[in-house]
Amino acid sequence: MFGYYFDLAQRSLRRNPVLTALMVLAIGLGIGASMTMLTVLHVMSGNPLPERSTQLFYPQLDPRGMDDYRVGEEPPTQMAWIDATNLLKARKGTHQAAMSGGQVTVRPAQGGNRAFYVDARFTTADFFAMFDVPFARGGGWSSSDDDKQARVIVVAKTLADKLYGGGQAVGKILRLGQNDFRIVGVIEPWSPVPHFYDLTSGGYQDGEQVFMPLSTALALHQGIGGSLECWGYMSFNNLDRKTAPCSWLQFWVQLDTPAQQRAYREFLVSYSQQQKMLGRFVRPPNTRLHDLMGWLDYNKVVPGSVQLQTLLALGFMLVCLVNTVALLLVKFLRRGGEMGVRRAMGASMRSIFAQLLAEATLVGLCGGVVGVLLALFGLWVVRQQPAQYAGLAHLDAPMLYATFVLALCTTVLAAMFPAWRACRLPPARALKIQ
């Protein structure tokens, strides 16, 4: 039966190829534009650590002075050295780590190789366990290395291969700036999207190449980057990051159970009160504890321009749909005569309806094919852009299926009303006009 409907459908579609092509193109354009932008949005607002994200939290404290104090103000987005150290020592979570981004100068041992900068992450021992960072060789450092300011580093595989050409890197001594460091671990390529653990330099940068104990980096004056929010007056020359009234560290904590999470929220408040008693904090306790996805939302990590373009694409899609509904309506109503004949010969309203929907399904399928091709082209265009996220815009399998499903569903939905109108035409009248 369906075979027969489809046969009829393709005959009728071939009867006026221009109108058919117009509908297919309209659906294809709408679907292509929407899917391009939705894919970009899907990639950019994805979950960077699906297995762990519900257990990772970002605590915030408010150590600022009473200048400019407003009730209900959000606390600083980063943490001062003293608070980060205190929270680390408290060990209230399964894992916790303080961290900051920066740059180190790599000086290859072989002469003739110019020195170059790489992005570095200065952090504490738990970083690797907390974020499930995959190691190719070796491992991270211990918290006693943090305390000792040990000169150890973990490097990314790309850097290890660049320096040692696939040879053994663990145990090698690497010169960074003016100091030598022992490589204790090599990690597999690891670059979460978005770059959730540090959003201070855009949410979509690549993963770092060198990881170093934070205490070591401070002692050796490595180039710490990122942003620095200070309160009060102070000189930035010879700034001592350990004592300055500035917040510049990201701090993450892993809390596995709801009970742990509740306890940690209470701990943050009691810690703030205790600091106020000591006279370090002056404001009433102002704490936050976002989970990973909440933290991304709070920071509006997806750029407004991408959301705007998605909105535009969806508006475009809506126009395409209205256009398709109008054209289908015209197309179906024009064939009143044919349907009158079929009704007169005993076809039920339902079979007429099914046959018209079969026609729409064919249009939808062709539209889907055009849409996928256009989306692939659209994403290729996006990838040519110099934006931080551009390289990530790829159509994965779920999005590909989604494109087809969307094309089919929208077309069939668009066809519902015209088909319903068309199959309700009284057959007698259609025959009489003939």
Partner 1 sequence: MARLPAATGARAEDPVRATIMHPILSALKHHKTTVVLVMLEIALTCAIVSNALFLIGDRLSDMQLTTGVANNELVWVNSDSLREDGNPASRMSLEQADLTALRDMRGVTGVVRVNSLPLLDAAMWRSGISVQPGLPKATFNNIAMYLGTPGIVGELGIKLDQGRDFLPQEYADYSPSANQAPPSAVIVTRALADRLWPSQSALGQPIFMGEKGKYVTRVVGVTRHLLNPTLSGRTNSEDNLLLPVRSIPGGMYVLRMEPAARDAVLRDIPAVLDRVDNDRIITGSNSYARTVSDYFHDDRALIWLLLVVIGCLLALTALGVVGLSSFWVQQRTHQIGIRRAVGATRNDILRYFQTENFLIVSGGIALGLLLAVALNLLLMKHYELPRLPLYYLPIAALVLWVLGQLAVLGPALRAAAVPPVVATRSV
CB of 325 to partner 1, least distance (A): 6
Answer yes or no: are the C-beta atoms of 123 and 101 closer than 8 Å: no
Which of 110, 235 has the CB closer to partner 1? 235
CB of 95 to partner 1, least distance (A): 33
Which of 115, 344 has the CB closer to partner 1? 115
What are residue 377's DSSP bridge partners? Answer: none
* Residue 373 makes contact with partner 1 by CB under 8 A: no
Distance CA 20, CA 363 (A): 7
Distance CA 209, CA 257 (A): 32
CB of 29 to partner 1, least distance (A): 6
For residues 298-327, which are near partner 1 according to CB under 8 A?
304-305, 307-309, 312, 315-316, 318-320, 322-323, 325-327
For 120, phi and psi rounded to 5 degrees?
A: -125, 160
Among 9, 13, 33, 415, interactor with partner 1 by CB under 8 A = 33
CB of 76 to partner 1, least distance (A): 18
Which of 143, 434 has the CB closer to partner 1? 434
Among 82, 387, 400, 416, interactor with partner 1 by CB under 8 A = 387
CB atoms within 10 A of CB 408: 19
CA proximity to 123, closest of 100, 106, 152: 100
CB of 153 to partner 1, least distance (A): 19
Instruction: For tokens 């992450």, name the residue.
Output: 121
76-87 per-residue burial string, b: 16 or more CB within 10 A, e: under 16 = bbbbbbebbbbb
Among 9, 29, 43, 366, interactor with partner 1 by CB under 8 A = 29
Which of 8, 19 has the CB closer to partner 1? 19
CB atoms within 10 A of CB 124: 24
Among 72, 89, 235, 397, interactor with partner 1 by CB under 8 A = 235
For residues 102-131, which are near partner 1 according to CB under 8 A?
105, 107, 114-117
Answer yes or no: are the C-beta atoms of 244 and 230 closer than 8 Å: yes
Distance CA 179, CA 209 (A): 17
Answer yes or no: are the C-beta atoms of 157 and 186 closer than 8 Å: yes
Q: Which helix (H) or strand (E) holds 304?
A: helix 304-334
Which of 19, 82 has the CB closer to partner 1? 19
Answer yes or no: are the C-beta atoms of 42 and 26 closer than 8 Å: no
Among 8, 136, 329, 431, interactor with partner 1 by CB under 8 A = 329
Which of 231, 267 has the CB closer to partner 1? 231
CB of 209 to partner 1, least distance (A): 15
Which of 310, 361 has the CB closer to partner 1? 310
* Residue 243 makes contact with partner 1 by CB under 8 A: no
Distance CA 217, CA 213 (A): 6
Question: CA-CA distances (angstroms) from residue 23 to 49, 206, 387, 417?
Answer: 42, 42, 34, 16
* Residue 191 makes contact with partner 1 by CB under 8 A: no
CA proximity to 204, closest of 31, 52, 40: 40
Which of 173, 381 has the CB closer to partner 1? 381
Q: What spatial distance separates the first Cα and last Cα of the chain, rounded to whole Å?
A: 28
CB of 304 to partner 1, least distance (A): 5
Binding site for partner 1 (CB under 8 A): 19, 22, 26, 29, 33, 67, 105, 107, 114-117, 177-178, 233-237, 304-305, 307-309, 312, 315-316, 318-320, 322-323, 325-327, 329-330, 334, 385-387, 421, 433-434
